[in-house]
Each structure stands twice: as structure tokens, then as C-alpha cells.
């Protein structure tokens, strides 16, 4: 008798579980609420899809149960995943830092190849079909795989349905929060710097104490900040915000300078070129909108020049450029987040099979679980490897 497997959600983890079950002879049907499958894969990596990473380890993930991912990542390693992709005709380009992309550099080729291959194996996709009753699916099948993802990217289908399903079966849900997400700052001046992008060092300050630092792009926006450095620090920020901690970030706009060197540079230029205003001097160092922002924050007229720019004032300016503190009062929310932290407590899921420890033949894979990866292909990597384990256990 062929096993019947029903999958809820046609994202990365749902499609791969369906393929692997069907490959071993199961009759597989996938339910997807959107009119098209895999919307998140299509937009991922800015349309290029950072599909995985050659260097995978549990240290690339955040979870209340950090070792949970180990078995999955070891069982379906990057090499195994790449071999599978090659077998189905999807070739990868692996960058020096380990990030992998489809060779075509197009996310749509990933979706097309996976979809065509799944359909060729007889997988049936029911799109435009929103599932609400898991117990009914359980009665109609040998196994049900919940692959409904998280609330991140609400316009792409992100929701908390998977958590609600898990709750019905007695699972514990850990509070979810947006991650890989932009931040809202309590500052009017930031709005005036909107559109400026620079490479900076961002340090998280929790309850007044310095925490992690990240170097990378920072983009000022009309609500706060975006850019890779901000996305990279956002997990720590967002989880602290839901824990009601006081969260600030300090931005060093010129990481290559130290305070003394920068202050001396400013006062030396003022001495050598007395006709230059302080704004003229700063635009030789930082973008003009930021220069104006710095002066406004310090209440310094942008027209002062010559002897008015004494070393004490230069030090105040240098100090702000290297250590500009902003209060973070919110994130840009689930709609704009790439992923979400929290979710189904993994201590209630068998890490070797992804089966619920509470209900036989019910599986949870991908981002619906309390597993959150760093930026760099780690989220897809867990979606693939958790899907692999579920399928392997169903069709052994």
C-alpha cells in the first residue's frame, strides 16, 4: 500500500518534504493558501535566493534549544543538499564565504526546477487552499507535515497558523518576534538623513550595557535604520524588545578613526583653512545630510568657522560621529521581517525525525519551529534539512 502524506504549506520545507516522500513512492498532496507556491523563495536574496551555506553549524542559529538543529544539519549536510540539487538539474554557485546561490542567479529557477520535479513525481499541489482543520487531514492520511512557516513576510503568506495548529495538539509556543528586520529609532534627526547609506559599526546597548557589535551597511530611513548591519543585529534587538529591555544602538559612522585622530583632523583643517565652515569641513568626512544631522544633534550652528572650531568642540563632534546613540523603540514589524524568532518549542519535537512528541505521525518542519538562522542562507538550510528528516522518517 502506498503511504498517503499531506503537507500544509508549499514553501521551501513543504516542497522538499513532498518531493522526498514522493520519490520513495508516497502519494503526496500539498495545500497552499496562496495562488502560487513558494512566494518567499521567489523574493529571497533580492530575487537571487541565497539557497544555503556550505558552512553550517548550530552557532548560526538562535533557539531556546540550541543543539536541536545539529542532527538535521549533519544528516542533510550542504554536500548532500548540493548533490540533490545537481541530480534534479539545479546547479549552485558557492561563494568564498560559503553562501550558495543558484548558478542562474535567479530565485525563479529554484522554484521552477523544484515544482517541475515535484509534479513529475506525481505530487499534487492544491493552491488557493487555506487549511484550518489538521485533525481531519490526520484522519485522511498516514502522515501530516506542517510546513506553514512563520509570521514573517505577512504579504507573502506569513502567518501564525502553524503555531495555532501545534497548540491544538498540546504544544508549547514560545513568543515570536520579527528578525532580520529594520529598526525604528526615537529620533527626528534620523528622518532628515533618510536615504544616506554608509558602512558603519553598530553596537547594541541593552539596559545601558554594551553588547554585540556588527560592521556593515547602514541605511537611514524616514522611520529609522535599515541595511545589512541592522538586519544582522536585529535578532538581538527584537528579542530584547519583547523582553521589555531598554534597547539603544550606538552607530560609529567612521570605524577606521579614533576620537583623538578625528578631533585633531577637524581642528587642523579649521586652522589651516579659516574660511571653511564646520559644515564644509564635515562634508569632507561624512555625507552632507549626516553632517547637518550631527551639528543639529549637538546644537552647533553649521556656519561657525576658524577660531570658533576649538579642540573641545572638535572632540564633541568627533565623539558623536564615532558613538551616536539612538533609542530603538520598535522593529519595522513582521510584514517587513525576513524571518521570525520563537515558535513551536523544539523540546517537544523529536530532533531526529521532526515528529511531534505529543502526536504520532504529525510533523513540523522549517520556520514554524523555534529555530532562527543568521542571514546567509541558514534559514533555507534548516528548512531543507528538517524536511529531509521528516520525509526520511515517514518513508523508511
Site residues for ligand FAD, window 154-173 (CB under 6 A)?
A: 156-157, 159, 161
Binding ligand FAD (rule: CB under 6 A), the pick from 45, 102, 224, 341 is 45
Binding ligand FAD (rule: CB under 6 A), the pick from 235, 267, 331, 379 is 379
Tell me: does residue 40 bind ligand FAD (CB under 6 A).
Answer: yes
Find the distance separating the first CA and the last CA of the chain, reported in whole Å: 14
Q: How far is the CB of 363 from ligand FAD (least distance, A)?
A: 12
Closest residue to ligand FAD, Cβ-based?
A: 11
Q: How far is the CB of 188 from ligand FAD (least distance, A)?
A: 29
Determine the 3-state secondary structure of 60 from DSSP: helix
* Candidate segments 7-15, 18-26, 258-266, 309-317, binder of ligand FAD by CB under 6 A: 7-15
All residues at 6 or more sequence positions from 274 whose CB lies less than 8 Å from its CB, including other chains: 305, 306, 307
Q: Between the CA of residue 389 and those of 72, 131, 139, what are the distances in Å?
A: 7, 23, 22
User: What are the helix (H) ranges across the chain?
Assistant: 12-23, 39-47, 69-75, 78-87, 107-120, 134-139, 161-168, 188-192, 228-242, 259-272, 278-282, 288-297, 311-322, 378-394
Q: Which of 365, 369, 371, 368 is nearest to 19 (CA)?
A: 365
Site string for ligand FAD, 113-142 (x = CB under 6 A): -----------------xx-----------
Tell me: does residue 377 bind ligand FAD (CB under 6 A).
Answer: yes
Site string for ligand FAD, 319-358 (x = CB under 6 A): -------------------xx-------------------
Dist CA 103 CA 198 (whole Å): 30
Tell me: does residue 17 bind ligand FAD (CB under 6 A).
Answer: no
Q: Which residues of 311-321 are buried (b: 16+ CB within 10 A; e: fewer)?
A: eebbbebbebb
Site residues for ligand FAD, window 203-242 (CB under 6 A)?
A: none
Residues contributing to the site for ligand FAD (CB under 6 A): 8-14, 31-34, 39-40, 43-45, 49-50, 130-131, 147-149, 152-153, 156-157, 159, 161, 338-339, 366-368, 377-380, 383
Amino acid at each position: 500500500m502506498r503511504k498517503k502524506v499531506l503537507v500544509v504549506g508549499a514553501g521551501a520545507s513543504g516542497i522538499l518534504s513532498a518531493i522526498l516522500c514522493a520519490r520513495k513512492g508516497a502519494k503526496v498532496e500539498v495545500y497552499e493558501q496562496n495562488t502560487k507556491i513558494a512566494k518567499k523563495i521567489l523574493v529571497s536574496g533580492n530575487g537571487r535566493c541565497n539557497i544555503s551555506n556550505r558552512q553550517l553549524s548550530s552557532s548560526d542559529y538562535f533557539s531556546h534549544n540550541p543543539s536541536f538543529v545539529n542532527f538535521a544539519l549533519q544528516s542533510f549536510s550542504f554536500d548532500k543538499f548540493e548533490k540533490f540539487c545537481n541530480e534534479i538539474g539545479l546547479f549552485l554557485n558557492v561563494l568564498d564565504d560559503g553562501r550558495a546561490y543558484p548558478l542562474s542567479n535567479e530565485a525563479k529557477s529554484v522554484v521552477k526546477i523544484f515544482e517541475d520535479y515535484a509534479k513529475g513525481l506525481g505530487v499534487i499541489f492544491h493552491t488557493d487552499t487555506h487549511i484550518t482543520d489538521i485533525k481531519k487531514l490526520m484522519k485522511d492520511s498516514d502522515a501530516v507535515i506542517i510546513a506553514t512557516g512563520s509570521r514573517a513576510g505577512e504579504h507573502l503568506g506569513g502567518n501564525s497558523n502553524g503555531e495555532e495548529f501545534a497548540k491544538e495538539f498540546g504544544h508549547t509556543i514560545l513568543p515570536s518576534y520579527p528578525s532580520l528586520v529594520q529598526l525604528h529609532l526615537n529620533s527626528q534627526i534620523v528622518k532628515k538623513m533618510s536615504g544616506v547609506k554608509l558602512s558603519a559599526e553598530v553596537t547594541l546597548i541593552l539596559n545601558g550595557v554594551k553588547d554585540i557589535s556588527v560592521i556593515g551597511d547602514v541605511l537611514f530611513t524616514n522611520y529609522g535604520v535599515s541595511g545589512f548591519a541592522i538586519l544582522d543585529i536585529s535578532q538581538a534587538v527584537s528579542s530584547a524588545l519583547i523582553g521589555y529591555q531598554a534597547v539603544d544602538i550606538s552607530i560609529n559612522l567612521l570605524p577606521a578613526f579614533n576620537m583623538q585622530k578625528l578631533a585633531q583632523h577637524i581642528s587642523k583643517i579649521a586652522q589651516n583653512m579659516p574660511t571653511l565652515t564646520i559644515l564644509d569641513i564635515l562634508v569632507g568626512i561624512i555625507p552632507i545630510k549626516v553632517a547637518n544631522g550631527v551639528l543639529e544633534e549637538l546644537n552647533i550652528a553649521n556656519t561657525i568657522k576658524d577660531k570658533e572650531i576649538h579642540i573641545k568642540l572638535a572632540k564633541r563632534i568627533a565623539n558623536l560621529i564615532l558613538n551616536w546613540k539612538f533609542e530603538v523603540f520598535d522593529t519595522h514589524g513582521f510584514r517587513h521581517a525576513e524571518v521570525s524568532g520563537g515558535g513551536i518549542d523544539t523540546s517537544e519535537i523529536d530532533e531526529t525525525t521532526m515528529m511531534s512528541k505529543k502526536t504520532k505521525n504529525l510533523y513540523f518542519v522549517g520556520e514554524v519551529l523555534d529555530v532562527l538562522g543568521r542571514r546567509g542562507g541558514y534559514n533555507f538550510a534548516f528548512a531543507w534539512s528538517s524536511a529531509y528528516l521528516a520525509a526520511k522518517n515517514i518513508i523508511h
